[in-house]
Amino acid sequence: MIREDYIVRLVKKLAKAISRIIKLKESHKYQEALITIDQTFQQLFGLNSELLSSLSADSIINFFGLENLQIEQKCFWIADLINEEAEIHESKKDIQISKSKYLKSLELYLEGIKYGDNSIITDYFKKIKKIIDKFEEQELPTEIKIKLLRYYENIENYSKVEDLLFRLLKLKENKQELVDYGISFYNNLMAKSDQELINMNLSRDKVINNKLRLEEIKNLP
């Protein structure tokens, strides 16, 4: 009960802060908005904006601890604030800073999806798409592209999963991780009925062949 009250208080504080930040953005009070974001980071998470922005998504998760059942919520909350920073810098024409912030928020949204369940993560799909649309695919780091596989699977864009998966494999990096993900992905598809696969513009033969293809890649030296 105490823990639930704590989470509710955090949500209310964050919502109030985001509302204030949006109003400041709309009034073009960008510096004041950035100061508010920094203060919110310190109040809610005990870290300032500069430090959080310098940490990788994995470092942020390790800082809060994987045993924390609300880790996906914290990923989303931090991503929301960094995303606000990105939009402010975009409005200020600070393009490189803006892109860096967008990528960090995207990575945290994608991490949140990994830890969260469907009752939570679907609220963030539009935010993720909005950020993705700001980049050419070649601008996205490989580690983010790998995390995008799960996002595309969650939104049932299976053709995108297949296309991205096999293009990533051509880079000959992260082979084991990609192959293991791909085999699991095709196992999930094989559990579906023929009609379900047809409705997804997939065929059972293609699913089986691609799984076999991945198993062959896995066994290569």
pLDDT in tens, 150-180: 999 988 999 999 999 999 999 888 889 999 9
Closest CA to 166 of 130, 200, 213, 203: 213
Cβ-Cβ contacts under 8 Å for 80 (sequence gap 6 or more): 14, 18, 105, 127
* pLDDT of res. 17: 93
CA 169 to centroid of chain Cα atoms: 21
Query: What does the block give as tokens for 139?
Result: 């601008």
Q: Which two tokens stand for residue 84?
A: 């606000």
Side-chain-side CA neighbours of 170 within 13 Å: the count stands at 6
> What is the model's pLDDT at position 119?
64
Residue 129: Cβ-neighbour burial (10 angstroms; 0-12, 13-18, 19+): exposed
Instruction: Collect contacts of 118-121 with beta carbons under 8 A, ≥24 apart.
Output: 118/154, 120/72, 120/73, 120/76, 121/72, 121/154
| Average pLDDT rounded to a whole number, residues 28-35 | 96
pLDDT at 38 over 60: yes
| Reported pTM | 0.87
Section 118-147 average pLDDT: 88
For residue 3, the model assigns a pLDDT of 56
Query: Who has greater pLDDT, 63 or 136?
Result: 136
pLDDT of residue 66: 47
Q: Where are the domains of the chain?
A: 2-155, 158-221
Amino acid at 181: Y
- Structure confidence at residue 4 as a pLDDT band (50, 70, 90): low
More confident residue, 72 or 111: 111
pLDDT tens, position by position, 79-131: 999 999 999 999 999 999 999 999 999 999 998 888 776 667 788 899 999 99
